[in-house]
Amino acid sequence: MRVLMIQASSVEGISQEKVYPIGIVTLAGKLQEGGHQVEIIDMNLEPDPYGAVKKRLLEVQPDIVGISLRNIDPLANKTSSLIPPFVVTVRLVSALLPQARIVVGGTGFSLFPERLMLELPQIDYGVVGEAEDTFPALLSNIDNPSPLPGLCCREGMKIRVTPPSQEFDMSKYNPPSRDVLNPSLYLDINSYVPAIGIETKRGCPFNCAYCVYPRLQGHKLRCRPPKFVVDEMEFLNKEYGIQSFHFTDPVLNIPQGHLEEICQELINRKLRIRWDGFMREDLLNEKNVPLFEKAGCECFSFSPDGLCQEALDILNKNLHEADILNAARLTAQTEVISVYHFMVNVPGETEKTCQKSIDFLERIYDIHSRKKNLGAVVLNNIRILPGTPIEKIARNQGLISPETDLLYPTYYNPKPFDQFRYQLETLQLAKNVFMWQEVKQK
């Protein structure tokens, strides 16, 4: 079959930070192994994304069009949505090639499969969660598929969703076939975030109150052998000149020892590359922090989310304030920048917790002040996603109703502390400006 894979718009505008779509590239490789002819278009790279999609559709004349919906909105407290461009993309494909079968997947789709398929009758099938096995099996019997893991099918006016697979053996993970989408297109495309992602594992054993990762990937950790991870990085470095990578794991430094082995492999091979990823604060120590720096870590990314112990507890982070401050002290001794992400106005916010949050943020800046290696503090309200404890809390508090449409940006930010984020952002901006201008605040 001729297959065209489309990465739907996952950022706002051509100027935003972009990432190489390893999901559909991986699937493309699996389809090529099965004898299918596969091409890819990433709408995020195109100045005229719909014109580019139209052109490729008419050139390729695919039998199957696979569309990946990675993000449903840009997050970062924004109220804009990425659903409208996705809807238009589906309708454009159907209008131009009504005979082609449309199959949709991706993280964003996996959160709202029934809703999106009911609203878009043009979609023939959906795949929830991991698709490496399901998508090729679907194409082998697309007229009458069996109930494959994660497959979404139409049954009259309803959508039947088979539970997704969360068991893909990552020791058998084959790196994406890069010839179908050249990574060189993503060289130097971003200002801050490495565009090329690497998976070292899937799954997350934690139960953070706002997060959907365990629902999508399962709680069981499925790790790739460290040697294979570094093989992929070395290949991309030597073949395409990629020097900076982002590890896409929900949490990079679990289980203990896995990242350490990857780093030792990088050091042994003398690879001069850089990388970053989100880490658990309570697993950093005097031994592994220098190892990570020596192996090329260019940013310690943290998402402790809670700015005080009360917030950490309500978010079910299983962390203590001391864990975060200890991680700050360890990383502040390095030449590597650190970035922290925090949630603001979490459930149970009070005048007392607000003051504790301000004090805590001040302490983090003080710790990093000597080397000035605090890259950024990112402050967000909580995006309410379906099936999370935060959704339940918001419903019980009457902040959202059964009619609230969570497909579109909906944040937990009730009064009277709905403006608190701006106070913290002012503090953060002032700290940054005065630190770099070497001016003492009065």
Q: Which amino acid is at 344?
A: V
Q: What is the distance between the alpha carbons of residues 42 and 40, in angstroms, rounded to a whole number?
A: 7
The rounded radius of gyration (Å) of the Cα atoms in the chain is: 22
Model pLDDT, residue 336: 98
Kindly give the interhelix angle for 258-268 and 226-240, rounded to the nearest 10 degrees. 40
- The Cβ of residue 54 has, within 10 Å, a number of other Cβ atoms equal to 15
Q: Could you identify the residue written with the tokens 């800046």?
A: 365
Residues of the chain with pLDDT below 70 are: 14-15, 436-442
* pLDDT tens, position by position, 95-130: 999 999 999 999 999 999 999 999 999 999 999 999
Pull the structure tokens for residue 377. 């503090």
Distance CA 58, CA 437 (A): 55
Whether 324 and 304 have beta carbons less than 8 Å apart is answered as yes
- Phi, then psi, of 70 in degrees rounded to 5: -80, -50
Note the pLDDT of residue 17. 82
Q: Give the domains, in start order, of the chain with CATH numbers.
A: 2-161 (3.40.50.280), 182-437 (3.80.30.20)
In this structure, are residues 115 and 408 in contact, taking their beta carbons and an 8 Å threshold?
Answer: no
Give the model's pLDDT for residue 75: 83
Count Cβ atoms within 10 A of the Cβ of residue 317 and give its class: 0-12 exposed, 13-18 middle, 19 or more buried.
Answer: buried
pLDDT at 436: 66
DSSP structure class, residue 417: S
Distances 188 to 4, 17, 183, 241, 298 between C-alpha atoms, Å: 26, 11, 11, 11, 16
Residue 325's CB is within 10 A of a number of other CB atoms, namely 16
Amino acid identity of 118? L
> Which residue type is seen at 261?
E
Which phi and psi (to 5°) does residue 346 adopt? -75, 165
What is the pLDDT at residue 437? 66
Is the separation of the CB atoms in 221 and 255 below 8 Å? yes
Whose CA is closest to 175, among 21, 25, 20?
A: 25
Q: What is the pLDDT of residue 226?
A: 97
- Compute the distance between CA of residue 347 and CA of residue 29 in angstroms, rounded to an integer: 44
Q: What's residue 343's pLDDT?
A: 98
The strand ranges marked E within 243-386 are 244-247, 274-279, 297-305, 337-343, 374-380, 382-383
Digit-coded pLDDT (tens) for 339-375: 999 999 999 999 999 999 999 999 999 999 999 999 9
Separation CA 35–CA 356 (nearest Å)? 60
Residue 379 in tokens:
């402050």
What global pTM score does this model have?
0.94
The DSSP 8-state label assigned to residue 282 in this structure reads: G
What's the pLDDT score for residue 434?
A: 79
Nearest to 299 by CA among 334, 346, 342: 334
Task: Give the whole-angstrom CA distance, residue 278 versus residue 264.
Answer: 19
